[in-house]
Amino acid sequence: MTCCSGCARYPDAERQFGPAIASRDLERYRRKGPDATSRSLLKAVADQLKSGDSLLDIGAGVGVLDFELMANGVNAAMLVDASPAYLEAAQREAERRQLADRLQFASGDFTALAAGIASADVVTMHRVICCYPDMESLVRVSADHAARLLALSFPADRWWWRVGQLLSRAWFRVRGCAFRLYLHDPRRILAIAQSAGLRPVLQRRGWVWQIAVLERSLS
């Protein structure tokens, strides 16, 4: 297990996803396993996996996707997250599962760290795009790192997300928190990924989250 921490920090995310939230999410995962949206994305990716694949998990959280996909053929994974607390929780879980030697960790803003991080067969971004203001840069650099597959989840285009975004911004402002949720156009997200040479092989629009898996075109 190796860990690197770049100077490219995302302080708002660090403060929002601190040790208490990381410990809560890890305990929930240990008790209940992946939630419904995570299970849906995991199945979509697992159906496309090849034995020995490498994984780059951007916004990895406590490592839910990584641990589950390693049980389905992924050989090694790089976990990137702006929250040091999340990566510390993922490291604890990796040691508990005796998987630490197959994982690497990078703390910071992926768009700034990307030049120093290798591409992987599979790149995942689960519930990350809505936490980042510069969607275009994030999706573009993530797509460029996907040697074969890019798997995404992001808010579905539903009216209640727009209401929720307004309420959440008011709540964060009252708390004096600079973190914000962002509702980026799903069509634009997919268009940027496609411009990087990927083509959609699965799209699923739920009541809350939309899932998309894209494959690199061989032509």
Report pLDDT digits (tens) over 2-29: 444 444 555 556 566 678 999 999 999 9
Domain span at residue 207 reads 2-216
Distance, C-alpha 196 to centroid of its chain: 18
Q: Which of 4-18, 67-81, 162-176, 195-209 has the lowest mean pLDDT?
A: 4-18
**Is residue 169 scored above 80 in pLDDT?**
no
Q: Give the predicted TM-score (pTM) of the model.
A: 0.88
Given the DSSP bridges, would you call strands 103-107 and 120-126 parallel, antiparallel or unpaired?
A: unpaired
Lowest model confidence (mean pLDDT) among 20-24, 66-70, 141-145, 163-167: 163-167
| pLDDT, tens only, 36-94 | 999 999 999 999 999 999 999 999 999 999 999 999 999 999 999 999 999 999 999 99
More confident position, 132 or 29: 29
Task: Give the CATH number, domain containing residue 76.
Answer: 3.40.50.150
The answer to whether the CB of 129 falls within 8 A of the CB of 157 is no
Pick the residue with more confidence: 162 or 34?
34
Cβ atoms of 125 and 105 closer than 8 Å = no
**Structure tokens given for 176:** 């004096």
Number of domain units in the chain: 1
How far is residue 39's CA from residue 18's CA, in Å, rounded to a whole number?
Answer: 24
Q: What's the mean pLDDT when you consider all of the chain?
A: 88
